[in-house]
Amino acid sequence: MKLYNSLTRKIEKFKPIKKGEIGIYTCGPTVYDFVQIGNWRTYVLGDLLVRTFKYLGLKTTYVMNITDVGHLTGDNEGDSSTGEDRLEKGAKREGITAWDVADKYSKDFKQGMHRLKLLKPDVLAKATDHIREQVSLVEKLEKKGLTYKTSDGIYFSTKAFEEKGFKYGELSTLDEIKEGARVAVNKEKKDKRDFALWKFSPKDKKRDMEWESPWGKGFPGWHVECSAMSIKYLGEQFDLHIGGEDLRSTHHPNEIAQSEGSTGKKPFVKYWVHGSFLLVDGGRMGKSLGNAYSLQDLEEKGFLPSDLKYLYLTGHYRKQLNFTFEALEAAQTALGRLKKKVDEIRGGDIEVTDVYAEWEDKFKERLEDDLDMPGALALVWEMMKDKKLSNGEKEGLVTEFDKVLGLDILGVDDVEKKVIDDSEVKALVKERVRLREEKKWEEADKIREEIEEMGYVVEDKGGETQVMKK
Ligand code: AMP
Ligand code: ZN
């Protein structure tokens, strides 16, 4: 397997620390709002890597965190000294506690994982369940002389870290990209790059989420959880760490500094993989721009999560991908056609022959080439169209390939077994979804009858409308 390692800025041959095994960590969601399709691109990347390593025969341990505390706005820019706590912000917006916000959006995340058919991580660790581990990590750093106190918290000293012979920010592209933080730099910080490890609760206000600590009541800084939990579940040094490209500039360098500073072991992680951003209509996506679509937003427009996943697969993870509804529609059509083709050849005996092995090798080659998913997808089509392959071989191969693609091409665990490849039906389904939202039940029922007359069954399950051929 060859992968681009952001740490060495090179494509490298992947060699696990322990033969035959791989420890993988992905920075998970901050659960203060619905997960949007940009975030999902990054989690799908994590899933594809885990599936690929499994496919290549490695034993994987996959860990992901859920940030349910302490992620301050501004952290991404490297200044965690000021800014608003995202969970508290969500609580204010919805008139509920930060705990309820975390609970609500953690559920949304888990449902989304399921709907996108992402493998369940071996450990899905919540920051609030690991306060003890985080406090103990900060204590270790304190003992090593890598921290200092200001009026609002305990900070990591990047200078002290460097004086011990470590390099801070090796991974970062911060010099190459636009510098500057959205929030003002804390005057008490000894160095602009320093960041909070533990923040004190304000004296005049009770926070929803706060804990006792050797430094007084407060809450952990955002970066601490990833170091504490990855070390706990994967060890002081592990193989692969994944995240979106924005995390490369400060969050990940801070994770490295905390981890290496506390364990004294270098490197903390051998390979760092960063996924490029998803754009919407060629630009940035954001809540304020109204284009930070969630899976639910897409479903309301008649798209299934697998359509979005297919769209992700058409772009290489190190290239930005542009989301438009036209592109999503094209992905939906292509996936529909693929499923239909597969449906036509199914039902015989799966044949495993020499030609079969050849195709498998070709598929592996694509994966091993820095996770070339567009290439792998093109190969699936090439295979399905190949005249020399028998139906049994095709069915066997598509079953194998889908172990990595995770598109449920064969419709095994999905109700949409029989593909809707009829634009008229699709339009009616969309219309019916809209009418149901407007609570126009009678009109919606009429459309249901129309769809059924055209030979389809309509089912509304868990907020999703599923349509299949009778
Ligand atoms: P957050 O919940 O803000 O901590 O982000 C969760 C993950 O989504 C991180 O790995 C981010 O880098 C990633 N992410 C955020 N926005 C995008 C985007 N537009 N495209 C791809 N990944 C993103
Ligand atoms: Zn992280």
pLDDT tens readout for residues 148-206: 999 999 999 999 999 999 999 999 887 533 334 444 467 888 888 899 999 999 888 88
- Ligand 1 atom nearest residue 26's Cα: 10
Q: What is the mean pLDDT of residues 434-442?
A: 88
SS3 184: coil
Q: What is the mean pLDDT of residues 349-367?
A: 92
Instruction: Give, using CA atoms, the residue closest to atom 17 of ligand 1.
Output: 38
DSSP character string of 82-93:
SS-BHHHHHHHH
Q: What is the mean pLDDT of residues 5-23?
A: 97
Which single residue is written with the structure tokens 């309820």?
A: 100
Among 5-19, 298-312, 332-346, 415-429, name the one with the lowest average pLDDT.
415-429
Is the pLDDT at 107 greater than 60, yes or no? yes
- Ligand 1 atom nearest residue 242's Cα: 10
CA 284 to chain centre: 18
- Ligand 1 atom nearest residue 30's Cα: 2
- ∠ CA 463-469-470 to the nearest 5 degrees? 105
| Sign of the dihedral defined by the CA atoms of residues 123, 147, 198, 158, in that order | negative
Residue 118 in contact with residue 62, Cβ under 8 Å? no
- Measured distance CA(88)–CA(86) in Å, rounded: 5
Task: Please tell me the distance between residue 123's alpha carbon and the centre of ligand 2 in angstroms.
Answer: 14
**What's the confidence (pLDDT) of residue 179?**
39
Q: Which residue has the higher pLDDT, 3 or 174?
A: 3
Instruction: List pocket residues of ligand 1, CB cut-off 6 Å.
Output: 27, 29-30, 38-39, 41-42, 243-244, 246-247, 275, 277-278, 285
- Best substitution site from 32, 34, 35, 42 to test ligand 1's pocket, by max atoms within 8 Å of Cβ? 42
- Compute φ and ψ for 277, nearest 5 degrees: -75, 155
Instruction: Give, using CA atoms, the residue closest to atom 5 of ligand 1.
Output: 29
Residue 37 in contact with residue 294, Cβ under 8 Å? yes
pLDDT band at 462 (very low <50, low <70, confident <90, very high): low
Task: Please tell me the distance between residue 36's alpha carbon and the centre of ligand 1 in angstroms.
Answer: 8
Query: Residues with Cβ < 8 Å from 132, sequence gap 6 or more?
Result: none
Residue 256 in contact with residue 172, Cβ under 8 Å? no
Instruction: Give, using CA atoms, the residue closest to atom 8 of ligand 1.
Output: 39
Q: Which of 309-323, 404-418, 437-451 has the highest mean pLDDT?
A: 309-323
Q: Is-cis flag, bond preceding 253, omega within 30?
A: no
**What's the confidence (pLDDT) of residue 181?**
43
**What's the confidence (pLDDT) of residue 65?**
97
Query: Residues with Cβ < 8 Å from 320, sequence gap 6 or more?
Result: 276, 277, 278, 279
Ligand nearest to C-alpha 25:
2
Q: What is the mean pLDDT of residues 199-214?
A: 91
Task: Please tell me the distance between residue 389's alpha carbon and the centre of ligand 1 in angstroms.
Answer: 41
- Measured distance CA(441)–CA(431) in Å, rounded: 12
pLDDT digits (tens, 9 = 90+) for 383-418: 999 999 999 999 999 999 999 999 999 876 544 444
H helix or E strand, kind and range, residue 307: helix 305-313
SS3 25: strand
Nearest residue to 37 via CA among 283, 319, 245, 312: 312
- Measured distance CA(1)–CA(51) in Å, rounded: 13
Among 37-41, 50-54, 286-290, name the one with the lowest average pLDDT.
286-290
- Ligand 1 atom nearest residue 285's Cα: 19
| Sign of the dihedral defined by the CA atoms of residues 21, 247, 124, 398, in that order | negative
H helix or E strand, kind and range, residue 220: strand 218-220
Task: Please tell me the distance between residue 296's alpha carbon and the centre of ligand 1 in angstroms.
Answer: 18
- Measured distance CA(320)–CA(279) in Å, rounded: 7
- Ligand 1 atom nearest residue 27's Cα: 10
pLDDT band at 424 (very low <50, low <70, confident <90, very high): confident
Ligand nearest to C-alpha 254:
2
Task: Please tell me the distance between residue 216's alpha carbon and the centre of ligand 2 in angstroms.
Answer: 25
DSSP character string of 227-246:
HHHHHHHH-SSEEEEEEEGG
Average pLDDT, the chain: 90
- Ligand 1 atom nearest residue 29's Cα: 2
Is the pLDDT at 237 greater than 50, yes or no? yes
**What's the confidence (pLDDT) of residue 417?**
42
Percentage, residues of the chain above pLDDT 70: 93
What the block records as the tokens of 423 is 């634009």
Q: Which residue has the higher pLDDT, 144 or 408?
A: 144
Task: Please tell me the distance between residue 410's alpha carbon and the centre of ligand 1 in angstroms.
Answer: 30
**What's the confidence (pLDDT) of residue 457?**
83
- Measured distance CA(85)–CA(75) in Å, rounded: 10
Other CB atoms within a 10 A radius of the CB of residue 349 amount to 9
Among 40-49, 173-182, 232-241, name the one with the lowest average pLDDT.
173-182
Beta bridge partners of 406: none
Ligand nearest to C-alpha 315:
1
Alpha helices in 314-411 (DSSP H): 325-345, 354-368, 373-385, 391-405
Beta bridge partners of 30: 67
pLDDT digits (tens, 9 = 90+) for 241-269: 999 999 998 999 999 999 999 999 999 99
Using CA atoms, how far residue 434 sits from 308, 329, 427, 441, in Å, is 20, 18, 11, 10
Q: Is-cis flag, bond preceding 267, omega within 30?
A: yes
The pTM assigned to this predicted structure is: 0.86
- Measured distance CA(367)–CA(313) in Å, rounded: 12
DSSP state of 72: B
Q: Which residue has the higher pLDDT, 418 or 5?
A: 5
User: How many Å from the N-terminal Cα to the C-terminal Cα in the chain?
Assistant: 43
- Measured distance CA(266)–CA(257) in Å, rounded: 10
Is the pLDDT at 59 greater than 60, yes or no? yes
| Residue 437 amino acid letter | E
Is the pLDDT at 214 greater than 80, yes or no? yes
Nearest residue to 294 via CA among 40, 67, 28: 40
**What's the confidence (pLDDT) of residue 351?**
83
Percentage, residues of the chain above pLDDT 90: 70
Ligand nearest to C-alpha 30:
1
Is the pLDDT at 22 greater than 90, yes or no? yes
